[in-house]
Amino acid sequence: MTVQDFTSAVLRLADEGIAGVEASRSAEELEALRTALLGRKSGRLTELMRQLPSLPPDARREAGAAINRAKTALEQALEARRAALAGNGGKQAAADLTMPARRTWQGAKHPVTLVIEEIVDIFRDLGFTVATGPEAELEWYNFGALNFPPDHPAMDMHDTLYLEGDVLLRTHTSPVQVRTLQTYPPPVRIVAPGNVYRRDFFDASHAPMFAQIEGLAIDEGTSFVDLKATLIHFARRFFGASKTRFRPSFFPFTEPSAEMDVECGICEGSGCAACKNTGWMEILGSGMVHPAVLEACGVDSERYSGWAFGMGPGRIAMVRHDIPDIRLLYDSDIRFLEQFVR
Ligand code: DAH
């Protein structure tokens, strides 16, 4: 046999074999074909292979390659037919292109984070920078430097979470005032968002951890006029054109101190459940920084004065979105949170 005769016999066998495979109707028929073509003992391709040694030595490589190509083609045809007979249409059809796509999951910022960002943006426009401080704080920063008398009830173990010795979880963001003034000489204008901790039960209106935003402005000649003008400007931008009022209050670290209310946005002042029928909503505590605080921070209280405020963005988010239970802010329930995707 010449090489040409040999390779055309191989090609013919492959063509016939593939046609037979594609025409086969059952797994048994297919298996019989496989044995007839590739069987070790008397398969037709195996027999052709046995004739290889009879070819001239320099032709054996080419003839061997033709055998291998035919074998691969037959095996692929057998496998494809096997899959088709098994009913899945072969490997290529594994994807159903008519199936609706899975919805892509979209994360959202937490409603409290959104409120914080909005508040920070308003103060940034007024020249305030963002400052931060540690959540595990020393008693001196949380209370002492802020002019709390040594027997103040807030320092009691029943109100404050102590970690060890004089280290506690800060009960407010006001210690950031102290840390800032120790680090940067006035003039200073900062807002300090962050989490604070109190020994409260977790119920519809209390959480043992919540967010606050502190504000501080220190300069020569700053007065209560600046405090009022700035905070009224803030309330107008954040709550719309609402009315505001200041009520006298008390904090150890400010003198005088005031609480600021905005007209209730839900009932527009006529009284409803959200504002407990007062027509007003308390949004922040504020005041002129006490000279004792300035001195504790190493700031000359004869030369400098300033004002500060603190507010709770969680409460503001609850009022804004009519959220009835503070625990919703901590549950991480996607069905609740995804309402704030924007
Ligand atoms: N630290 C106060 C609190 O947690 C809030 C506060 C009131 C902050 C008046 C201030 C302020 O800076 O001037 O209740």
Q: Is the CB of 285 within 6 Å of ligand 1?
A: yes
Please tell me the pTM assigned to this model: 0.70
Q: Is the CB of 283 within 6 Å of ligand 1?
A: no
pLDDT digits (tens, 9 = 90+) for 86-115: 875 445 557 788 888 888 877 788 999 999
Ligand 1 centroid to residue 310 C-alpha, Å: 4
Confidence band of 10 (pLDDT split at 50, 70, 90): confident
Cβ–Cβ < 8 Å for 215, 235: no
pLDDT digits (tens, 9 = 90+) for 197-237: 999 889 888 899 999 999 999 999 999 999 999 999 999 99
pLDDT digits (tens, 9 = 90+) for 286-295: 999 999 999 9
Q: What is the mean pLDDT of residues 66-85?
A: 87
Protein residue closest via CA to atom 7 of ligand 1 = 285
pLDDT digits (tens, 9 = 90+) for 298-319: 999 999 999 999 999 998 998 8
Contacts of 4 (CB under 8 A, 6+ apart): none
- Higher pLDDT: 247 or 42? It is 247
Q: Is the CB of 147 within 6 Å of ligand 1?
A: no
Does residue 61 surpass a pLDDT of 90? no
Using a pLDDT cut of 70, give the percent of the chain over it: 98
Does residue 43 surpass a pLDDT of 60? yes
**What span, in angstroms and rounded, lies between the C-alpha atoms of 16 and 18?**
6
Phi, psi (deg, nearest 5) at residue 180? -65, -45
* pLDDT (0 to 100) of residue 301: 97
Average pLDDT over all residues of the chain: 90
Confidence band of 28 (pLDDT split at 50, 70, 90): confident
Q: What is the mean pLDDT of residues 22-32?
A: 87
End-to-end CA, the chain: 79
Beta strands per DSSP E along 240-339: 244-251, 254-263, 280-289, 305-311
Ligand 1 atom closest to Cα of 171? 4
Q: Is the CB of 174 within 6 Å of ligand 1?
A: yes
Q: Is the CB of 313 within 6 Å of ligand 1?
A: no
Q: What is the mean pLDDT of residues 116-131?
A: 98
Q: Is the CB of 24 within 6 Å of ligand 1?
A: no
